[in-house]
Amino acid sequence: MIIELPLVTAAEIAAEYRPGGEATVKATLRRLRERDLISAGVAEHPRGVAGRVAGAWHVYSALNLDAVRAARAHDEPAAKAIAKRAAHIESRRTTVEFVRRLAELGGSASLRRRFEWASSLDEELRTALVAVVAETVAERNRLVHDPTSVPRLALVAAMHGELAELMLEGAEAPVSIPIPDLELLDSAFVGAALALRFERFGRGQTLLKAAPAIKLDDGDDSRIYPYERPLPNTDAPMALAAAIGAAATMRRPRRIPIAGPR
């Protein structure tokens, strides 16, 4: 089972808001916070030798990526609604405790490594991780209705020269991505799990963004994401020619009034 990371850094939010932008992360996030377009995040101050505070660790619900994407599309009401749910997730006692435990796992480790440790070393942390992911995915499914925004989970299947070949869940055709991009994500190795997001920018322009994900060794194969069934696609209609005749087989139904809005 592959799961996306439920927490992201300030830099990831800034990059989602302004892909390729040059404004500082701090300034970008301050402006977004002032307009309630992202949540406050969860800050932890892990303690080092002799109990001294050893820096600050500040992470945000991954829903903030969806919030800033909406903000970038000038849909501030949607961004605020998503940010509000992100804040709700961040304020939960279980999330705060989970972040505190993550913060204790190695001062310089990447977010991916921390989550991998969380999922492999400690059953309690692993359970907490899956719970936070489940809530994040459920909230996104409720609030974000653009199919391309749903992260597609993938594994690095092979490395060829400058390109890594990814196999996407639910797809047979592989996708390639430059290896240097994966190196930045600490994910340039066969078997690395990734969450991919696509975004269309007009004719012939699609942005592909990769983020680290986690592959859990056990657990069932069904994703937490509950809508495995793909949406209908006019490019791939079902071929029924041999399965259904031209003659009607069902009588015209009697009309049964149905109350309420459709």
Q: Which one of 3-11, 13-21, 180-188, 228-236 is the stretch in contact with other proteins (CB under 8 A)?
A: 228-236
Nearer to other proteins, 49 or 250 (CB): 250
Question: What is the C-alpha end-to-end distance of the chain, expressed in Å?
Answer: 35
User: How many amino acids of this chain bind other proteins (CB under 8 A)?
Assistant: 38
Site for other proteins in 103-142 (CB under 8 A): 138, 141-142
Tokens coding 64: 């903030």
191: left (phi over 0), alpha (psi -120 to 50) or beta: left
Site for other proteins in 144-163 (CB under 8 A): 145, 147
Burial of 102 (0-12, 13-18, 19+ CB in 10 A): buried
Report the candidate in 101, 119, 95 with the shortest Cα–Cα distance to residue 193.
119
| 8 Å CB contact between 165 and 127 | no
Binding residue (CB under 8 A) for other proteins from 49, 50, 53, 231: 231
Site for other proteins in 38-67 (CB under 8 A): none
250 counts as binding other proteins under rule CB under 8 A? yes
Burial of 125 (0-12, 13-18, 19+ CB in 10 A): buried
- In three-state secondary structure terms, 53 is strand
Nearer to other proteins, 160 or 251 (CB): 251
Cα 117 to Cα 66: distance, rounded to the nearest angstrom: 26
77 counts as binding other proteins under rule CB under 8 A? no
| Residues 6 or more apart in contact with residue 36 via CB below 8 angstroms | 80, 83, 84
Binding residue (CB under 8 A) for other proteins from 52, 93, 160, 251: 251
Nearer to other proteins, 51 or 253 (CB): 253
257 counts as binding other proteins under rule CB under 8 A? yes
Tokens coding 73: 């599309």
Nearer to other proteins, 53 or 240 (CB): 240
Q: Which one of 31-39, 89-97, 175-183, 249-257 is the stretch in contact with other proteins (CB under 8 A)?
A: 249-257
Cα 163 to chain centroid, rounded: 23
Q: Which one of 2-10, 27-35, 153-161, 252-260 is the stretch in contact with other proteins (CB under 8 A)?
A: 252-260
- In three-state secondary structure terms, 8 is strand
Q: Measured from the CB of residue 76, what is the shortest distance to other proteins in angstroms?
A: 20
Cα 28 to Cα 79: distance, rounded to the nearest angstrom: 15
Q: Which one of 6-14, 102-110, 111-119, 251-259 is the stretch in contact with other proteins (CB under 8 A)?
A: 251-259
Q: Measured from the CB of residue 75, what is the shortest distance to other proteins in angstroms?
A: 14
**How many other CB atoms are there within 10 angstroms of residue 109's CB atom?**
14
Site string for other proteins, 190-209 (x = CB under 8 A): --------------------
Interface with other proteins (CB under 8 A): 138, 141-142, 145, 147, 226-227, 231-234, 236-262
